[in-house]
């Protein structure tokens, strides 16, 4: 998606060779016009797949998922990062390793909101090592729901997540795929 690539070039910040900051427009301050175009594009890609639920992970996926869901006319569920050791009640649970902090945490979704009748589209801001997406996929599988695919805003294609998830047979559509980047040289190359 040219619009997103151009915006990353203009307002994104590269940290080292691994981290891309997009907090001026995507995951801290949010440019709603841009995210509206992102939602439209996800609908163009997945609109004919019978999606009836969008699933994301807190926190930065939520806003993007909500705007996207308006085009699909379906509810959004966000997997909660569980802070307590005791997992309360009737929930599906899975583990995610944080890309930014390296810590492993549980994510949960109530069984009330996901089940075998559901056709699920996953939405997230970034795809790096694939742990967040893998955690969401596990929740969908545990629920016996159908996974339609994943819509990602920014995939860092030089990290292994995209290849890993696609190798599982999951349809992954990333709107901007970063091939290489380097803070020192200013390199930012898209696939």
Minimum distance between the CB of residue 36 and ligand 5GP, rounded to whole angstroms? 20
Choice from 52, 82, 93, 129 touching ligand 5GP (CB under 6 A): 129
Please report how the helices 32-46 and 60-72 are oriented relative to each other, as an axis angle in degrees rounded to 10: 60
The neighbour count for residue 41, using CB atoms within 10 Å, is 19
Instruction: Phi first, then psi: give them for residue 153, nearest 5 degrees.
Output: -75, -55
Residue 88 annotated as binding site: no
Choice from 161, 170, 172, 176 touching ligand 5GP (CB under 6 A): 161
Choice from 4, 91, 128, 181 touching ligand 5GP (CB under 6 A): 128
Stretch that binds ligand 5GP, among 41-49, 76-84, 85-93, 126-134 (CB under 6 A): 126-134
Choice from 68, 94, 131, 174 touching ligand 5GP (CB under 6 A): 131
Stretch that binds ligand 5GP, among 85-93, 105-113, 119-127, 169-177 (CB under 6 A): 119-127
DSSP string, 51-76: --EEEEETTHHHHHHHHHHHHHT--E
Residue 132 annotated as binding site: yes
174 binds ligand 5GP (CB under 6 A): no
Residue 39 annotated as binding site: no
- Contacts with 101 (C-beta within 8 Å, 6 or more apart), sequence order: none
Q: Distance (Å, rounded) from C-alpha 55 to C-alpha 136?
A: 8
124 binds ligand 5GP (CB under 6 A): yes
| Number of amino acids touching ligand 5GP (CB under 6 A) | 20
Residue 27 annotated as binding site: yes
Q: Distance (Å, rounded) from C-alpha 77 to C-alpha 123?
A: 10
* Cβ–Cβ < 8 Å for 100, 60: no
Q: Pattern 64-93, binding to ligand 5GP, x per CB under 6 A? A: ------------------------------
130 binds ligand 5GP (CB under 6 A): yes
SS3 for 123-159 is EEEEECCCHHHHHHHHHHHHHCCEEEEEEEEEEECCC
- Footprint of ligand 5GP on this chain (CB under 6 A)? 19-22, 27, 60, 99-100, 124-133, 156, 161
């Amino acid at each position: 998606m040219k619009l997103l690539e151009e915006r990353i070039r203009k307002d994104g910040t590269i940290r080292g060779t691994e981290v891309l900051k997009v907090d001026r427009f995507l995951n801290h301050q949010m440019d709603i016009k841009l995210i509206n175009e992102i939602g439209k594009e996800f609908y163009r890609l997945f609109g004919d797949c019978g999606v009836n639920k969008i699933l994301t992970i807190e926190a930065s996926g939520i806003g993007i998922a909500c705007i996207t869901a308006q085009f699909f006319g379906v509810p959004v569920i966000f997997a909660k990062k569980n802070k307590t050791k005791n997992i309360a009640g009737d929930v599906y649970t899975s583990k995610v390793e944080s890309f930014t902090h390296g810590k492993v945490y549980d994510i949960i979704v109530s069984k009330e909101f996901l089940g075998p009748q559901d056709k699920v589209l996953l939405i997230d801001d970034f795809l790096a090592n694939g742990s967040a997406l893998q955690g969401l996929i596990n929740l969908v599988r545990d629920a016996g729901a159908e996974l339609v695919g994943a819509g990602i805003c920014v995939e860092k294609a030089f990290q292994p997540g995209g290849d890993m998830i696609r190798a599982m047979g999951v349809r992954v559509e990333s709107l901007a795929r970063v091939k290489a980047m380097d803070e020192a040289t200013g390199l930012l190359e898209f696939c």
